[in-house]
Structure 1
Amino acid sequence: MQSISAIVEAGLRALWRSPHARFPAQGPVHPWEIWLERNEADQFLERANALGIRFEADRLQFPEDVVVIGYGTHDQIAEAVRHYGTVKALAAPTVLSDFFEGMPPEEQAEWARAMEDLLQPPDAADPRCITLLDSGIGLNHPLIRPFLDPADRHAAEPGWSLDDSRGHGTQLAGLSLYGDLLPVIQSNMPVHVRHRLESAKIIPDAGQNPHHLLGAVVLNAVNAVEANAERGRTFSMASTTDEDTPHDGAPTSWSSEIDQLTAGVSGNQNRQRLFVLSAGNTDQNRFQGGEYLSVCDDPDHEIESPAQAWNSICVGAYTEKVRMPAGLPGQAVAIAGDLAPSSRTASWSKHWPIKPDIVMEGGNWVQDHLPPPLSHPALSLLTTDHQYPLRSLTTTADTSAATALAAKAITELWEDYPHLWPETIRAIFVSSARWTRQMEAHLPANPSKGDFVRLFQRYGYGVPDQARARRSAENALSLIVQDTITPYRPSATAGAEPVHNQMKFFQLPWPREALRQLGATEVTLRVALSTFVEPNPSEAARGSKFRYASHNLRFKLNRANENRAQFQARINKLADDSDADPVADNDGWIFGRNWRDVGSLHIDELRCPASDLAQRNLLAVQPVAGWWKSKSVQNVDRKAARFALVVELDAGDVEADLYTEVETAIANLNVAQIGV
């Protein structure tokens, strides 16, 4: 005959929705997450309290459920379930990452095995992959092994071991597959991973790479993985150096090699590539009290090389992790929604590209009575440990973690749109980013264009939004163009420099009737122009964006009541240097040319009455100076450049059907090539 305790446990387990490993042990009082019938919750709480069950004051309310935290023994919870019958489910209360960090090895392994049973392989026959350029990846971990084939581990040097003795690469592998494991491993729900992993080891097990060889090491690693298989890749690298600082945004040999690889002019394979790079981490020992943002903003903590590369996506860190574990002294350093204390910032105010491009979760630090602040597992991200089975789970943070999260999000987006170019995915992903309210709190009430400097230097364009990147709903739509342009041609004058050759002119299929009906309602237009430049990092080019990049492109929108002929004439006048347009910054654009016309990714936002935008449907992409436009370049009229143009139109919360009208006109999109 079963014991009473076994019957009690069986009844409670029948209601249990968390992983089996988290079911409370018999005997002592435990916290329980209790799901109740909404209409009967108050009555249950009153009666259960009489049984000795203590409840937290906070509760979550859903359409049919109320969720509370109660403290009781197995017998107390079972009696409440048996007598009052309104309990729909039981679960383990959410914990912080330090709960798993401090587990004994056998318990960690049990959690990992429980999650392994819930893994679902990618649907695609040949899914995209994230190629981690790091310290290698441990192959035997049960949460990594299903998504990493032994043949997909490589090294920059043939004699190197393919294993991960340092642990960093395996930590980022877990984040690249699952994101922060903390909510995933507790959910007890099927886990669907849509991509695979590759390892391209660039960090030796002992010692360091010679500094001057860092670009060559990455090149060798890229060649090694690309020789193995044809597949779509997102290259993710969280390795940087402070030996090139201060560089003030100017190119270095390492950043220039990244630009060559992305542009497809380096490497054994002639192809454009997408690179995601970390911004680098601050030095905790330099935080000696005071405002942490002022330390992050110090030029001594400028973004590390090669993260200033023009064509890459540079990832900084912000944080939402501010919940401290009970009993931990001190307080979280960063406010929710602001820069993570570990994140470096740009020291330059203009001229060179905006970096970081975006920020992702990078954890927080704890400040006790005495500096410096310290990282803490509770404010970090949970991930896989390279020492399995000795350790299955560990925590990590900082810009490395943020970079892995960005690589995951980008690869999932690319899986949805596999035929888009790397330039296009970069434009869509970065353009989806927005500053949090906490970031915007650093702006004055009525900001001018110059007030955005600090936000760009710290956060780039902000936190990406996957839903925004994918959407084209009724009150918000996106238009995407992938095209090529031949920017220059030989001059008719013998011995003279080449001249500008071509401008692409787009007549956008605006929903004119819908916009006119909105009248004075403010709408938002956001434009992103992305191209990959071929770098020329000669000494003379270090001081000029026009001499470093092979070509530079700009976009222009016609003004209200400016017809096609007038618009073309205005753009032709600006052909030699569109950055000199004296009216551009007073034309309704939020960021302005100082922040738009830098680097190889240009993003700006226009807010204006809907009726005005109905007339502003002509957009031009034009070349300005680049090193291709020099007398030494041969066959300049054969040098074509790819570009991606992403146009987003948003009416906000206003009910407006912008999409239907565009859908009927999209087939007639008028694209013209005009000489300049």
Structure 2
Amino acid sequence: MEPAEANSFVEQAIANGVTVYEDRLEFPEDTVVLVETSVASLAQMTYETGSVRSVSPPGVPIDFVDGLEAEEQADWVQDVLGRTQYGPQGQQAASYVTLLDTGITLAHPLIQPALDAADRHAAVPGWDLEDHDGHGSRMAGLALFGDLRSQLQGTAAIPVPHRLESAKVIPDAGKNPYHLLGDRTQKAINAVEVEPNRLRTFALATTTDDDTPHSGAPTSWSTELDQLAVGRSGAVKQQRLIVASAGNLSPQHDGTADYLAKCDDDDEAEIESPAQAWNTIAVGALTAMNGVGGPTYGATLAEVGDLAPMSRTASWTKTWPIKPDVVLEGGNWFDDGFSTTPNQHSDLMLVTTSRNYPARSFTHISDTSAATALAAREIALLRASYPNLWPETIRALYVGSARWTDRMWSHVAPADKNRKRAYDVMFTRYGYGQPNLERAVNSASSAITLIVEDSIRPYENKGSGRKLNEMRLFELPWPTTVLRSLVGQDVTLRVALSTFIEPNPSEVARGRKNRYASHGLRFALKGADEDVPAFTQRVGRTATEDQQDDNGSDSGEWDFGYNRRSVGSIHIDTLTLPANDLAQRGVLAVYPVGGWWKDNRAVDPNRCNARFSLVVEIDATEAEVDLYTEVQQKVAPRTTIQV
């Protein structure tokens, strides 16, 4: 159509319910607009407007990776490269994704602008820095661009503000000895941290089955990840953000009906070590790929919005952390009706960069490796937006942004949706659900989100032992005037408390969470009819026993509940209540419970200091504008109370 007619066509198309994409191609005499609708609707629009010169399908065939010759793929590389806006290098770089993998190729034109040759390292000196396997280069493409299929089908500019680092932890031949898995990971991190001050998101998409079954208990490798995250291990003593894959099942199950049962199998499908580490973000896979345009026979295994067919789960429900933390796109598999095992197809996988450039520019990746690369990318973008936030805070914002999809909820009977036992299947398969980067970014800047970065001395010496020392009280800047005016309207409060524990790797600690973790932190909200002294007394009793106070005002009203949220080192829960009730509950406590710091007086008391991040959000739908205005005028002071 002519450029002058494009806007009127778009307006009329939207009015008629046609999906119109933002991407456009501008030519001197024509404008190309991408729309999605039925043939009948498009024919009617063409007739009514009289402005459409021609109609054709999108220029990129869905199976372009397998269907295009090397020269044609190289042309698509140049198209994407011409639209990509890479961020600055060196000290000005926003943040980095550091891939602990098989290495990354420097030859690929889409990777080269984001990866300096000096930023390729290896856990073992003398290892070849090239990617001879291809896995690391596939991870790199997703870590920079996400699924390249969407970029290839678009025409818009592509911002890539973050950069890459490579720390090779997987040898080109053979595999790492089991007893060196943690050591190799630490040495790879040491190698990249010759530049210690970069904002890094470490991505580890390799796992081991040598520890299976572990039933969620710590292993030597997961313990090393916990030490690295909290900053007790590594040449540089600093907190780190580490993203780890949950691991994949072998494609053994057949048919479309039983794959979830196989993924839920306690003995065969538990997430692999080291993804059970407390301080990391463990990533499983879901899928939104339904096979449209892909295999023309058989049926996909997973429904849109459900667990990806090979994603592992965590069957444990007590003591050990909720894992995976989040799930992201990992592609789908399909049953062809003939094979005894499921099948993969390129159209059910994500498109990414190939190590074999220029022979091949693009390839595919799927399952929890793909999901881990996507999570690392999103976290790097979040860190680039808020470079001054602690790793603990970024974790709270990102995991706290996750929600369960409608398809996930379909596995819970409607009558059970308000009963805490109904959440077991949700947590074990999906963790907290699918994260939303836009929600996380907006939460960090919203006036109706309280973000606290603080520390607490959880224990003090007394006699020959130690006792609980103090709690923190936060007077929340509730917009009480607006909340009281919302008569008959419910609001939702979401709390995320994130801390990095220092692990105790001794064998005796493996069966008890309070012997493995250096400390535990919990949160509680004041009741509407409680005064602050009564509230602190109630919290003090709860802290001593690390049990829910059944007589407390918040004993059963939280969605997930005290027992479910009080595992691991990130604690998330939601509370929906009348707005007027929330207006009277403006004090929240963060308090300590037991840990091996408390049990071991020999540990240096000067380092028994626990950092934590607290993120508190109010969701009040249409009333949020008024809430924002009032909260801007308030401040959230902190009070320290002796337990």
- Asked if TM exceeds 0.5, the reply is yes
Tell me how far apart the structure 2 counterparts of residues 135 and 437 of structure 1 sit (CA, whole Å).
36
- In structure 2, C-alpha distance between the alignment counterparts of 1:579 and 1:551, rounded to whole Å: 15
Deviates more, 1:530-539 or 1:569-578: 569-578
Q: Which residue of 2 aligns with 1:37?
A: 9
Identity %: 50
**2: CA distance between counterparts of 1:674 and 1:449?**
32
Contact (CA 8 Å) 1:507, 1:670: kept in 2 or not? yes
SS at match of 1:236: strand
Partner of 1:463: 434
1:196 matched to 2:156: no
User: How many pairs align?
Assistant: 620
Q: 1:25 aligns to what?
A: none
> C-alpha separation between the residues in 1 aligned to 2:195 and 2:581?
54
Distance 1:231 1:98, change over 3 A: same
Contact kept, 8 Å, 1:154 with 1:200, in 2: the verdict is: yes
2:333 corresponds to 1:374 = no
Does residue 415 (structure 1) correspond to residue 384 (structure 2)? The answer is: yes
Does the aligned pair in 2 maintain the 1:514–1:656 contact within 8 Å? no
- Asked whether 1:395 is paired with 2:331, we answer no
What CA distance in whole angstroms lies between the structure 1 residues aligned with 2:10 and 2:229? 55
Residue-by-residue CA offset, 1:56-109 (whole Å, 9 max, x unaligned): x995368998836899xxxxx9xx99xx96127877527565322332111111
Q: How far apart, in 2, do the equivalents of 1:592 and 1:69 lie?
A: 45
Deviations 1:586-620 (A, max 9, x none): 44100001210000000000011001000111111
Are the structure 2 counterparts of residues 160 and 642 from structure 1 closer, same or farther at C-alpha, using a change threshold of 3 Å? same
Alignment pair present for 1:578 and 2:546: yes
1:96–1:182: 8 Å Cα contact kept in structure 2?
Answer: no
1:252-271 to structure 2, matched below 5 A, reads 252-271=219-238
Distance 1:621 1:58 in 2: 49
Aligned with residue 539 of structure 1, among 499, 507, 510: 507
Residue aligning to 2:630: 661
Pair 1:134 & 2:93 matched: no
What is the Cα deviation at residue 633 of structure 1?
A: 2.6
**Displacement after TM superposition at 1:252 (Å):** 0.2
TM-superposed deviation, 1:578: 2.7
Q: What are the within-5 Å matches in structure 2 for residues 364-513 of structure 1? A: 364-370=332-338, 371-446=340-415, 447=417, 448-471=419-442, 477-491=448-462, 493=463, 495=464, 497-513=465-481
Residues 41 and 118 (structure 1), Cα distance of their counterparts in 2 relative to 1, 3 Å cut: closer
Q: Out of 506, 513, 516, which is 1:548 matched to?
A: 516
State the TM-score, normalizing by the size of structure 1: 0.87
User: CA–CA distance in 2 between the matches of 1:115 and 1:61?
Assistant: 22
Structure 2 unaligned segments of length 5 or more: list them: 25-32
Q: How far off is 1:394 after superposition?
A: 0.6
Residues 1:344 and 2:316 are matched in the alignment: no
Change (3 A) 1:134 1:572: same
CA distance in 2, matches of 1:38, 1:136: 46
- Counterpart position of 1:624: 593
Q: Is the 8 A contact 2:124 2:187 kept in 1?
A: yes
Output the amino acid matched with 1:99.
F
Question: Residue type of the partner of 1:335?
Answer: E
User: Residue 575 of structure 1: CA displacement?
Assistant: 2.5
1:205-244 matched pairs, under 5 angstroms: 205-228=172-195, 230-244=197-211
Residue 650 of structure 1 deviates from its aligned partner by 0.7
Residue 536 of structure 2 corresponds to 568
Q: Distance in 2 between matches of 1:118 and 1:378?
A: 24
Is the 1:423–1:530 contact (alpha carbons within 8 Å) kept by the matching residues of 2? yes
The equivalent residue for 1:108 is: 73
Q: Does 1:354 align with 2:322?
A: yes
Say whether 1:178 aligns with 2:145: yes
Deviation at 1:35, TM superposition (A): 10
Map of 1:122 onto structure 2:
87
Q: Name which of structure 1's ranges 223-232 and 429-438 shifts more when overlaid on structure 2.
A: 223-232
1:132 touches 1:197 (CA, 8 Å); kept in 2? yes
Pairwise CA distance, 1:123:
5.3
Partner of 1:7: none
Contact 2:504 / 2:596 at 8 angstroms: preserved in 1?
A: yes
For the 8 Å contact 2:543–2:591, the answer to whether it is kept is yes
Other-structure match for 1:275: 242
The alpha-carbon distance between structure 1 residues 424 and 376, as it changes in their structure 2 partners (threshold 3 A), is same
Which sits farther off after the overlay, 99-108 or 525-534? 99-108
Distance 1:62 1:171 in 2: 28
Give, as a single letter, the amino acid of the residue that structure 2 aligns with 1:651.
Answer: A
In 1, the alpha carbon distance for the partners of 2:281 and 2:150 equals 27
Paired position in structure 2 for 1:144: 111
Cα gap change, 1:406/1:66 in structure 2, threshold over 3 Å: closer, same or farther? closer
Deviation at 1:376, TM superposition (A): 1.1
Q: What is the one-letter code of the residue matched to 2:356?
A: Q
Structure 2: how far apart are the matches of 1:95 and 1:320? 20
Q: Which runs of 4+ in 1 moved over 3 A?
A: 38-42, 57-71, 88-92, 94-97, 286-290, 472-476, 583-587, 653-656
Which amino acid in 2 is paired with 1:427? A
> In structure 2, do the counterparts of structure 1 residues 502 and 192 end up closer, same or farther at CA, with 3 Å as the change threshold?
same
Tell me, in whole angstroms, the C-alpha distance in 2 between the residues paired with 1:576 and 1:565. Answer: 17
Describe the shift of the 1:39–1:116 C-alpha distance in structure 2 as closer, same or farther (beyond 3 A): closer
- Do the aligned partners of 1:360 and 1:402 also contact (CA within 8 Å) in 2? yes
- Secondary structure of 2:632's counterpart equals helix
Deviation at 1:540, TM superposition (A): 1.5
CA contact (8 A) 1:354 1:598 kept: yes
Q: Root-mean-square deviation (CA), in Å? A: 2.9
Say if 2:323 and 2:428, in contact at 8 Å, map to a contact too: yes
Counterparts of 1:438 and 1:247, CA distance in 2: 30
CA distance in 2, matches of 1:551, 1:531: 9
Q: Kindly provide the amino acid, as one letter, of the partner of residue 526 in structure 1.
A: R
Contact 1:474/1:660, CA 8 A, preserved across alignment: no
1:352, 1:545 within 8 Å by CA — same for their partners in 2? Answer: yes
Give the equivalent residue in structure 2 for 1:634. Answer: 603
Q: CA separation in 2, counterparts of 1:349 and 1:165? A: 40
Secondary structure of the 1:355 match is coil
Question: 1:134–1:201: 8 Å Cα contact kept in structure 2?
Answer: yes
Cα distance between partner residues in 1 of 2:244 and 2:362: 24
Indicate how the Cα distance of structure 1 residues 41 and 645 shifts in structure 2: closer, same or farther if over 3 A, else same.
closer
Contact 1:490 1:637 in 2 (8 A): no
SS in 1 for 2:182: helix
Could you tell me how far 1:185 is from its partner in structure 2?
1.8
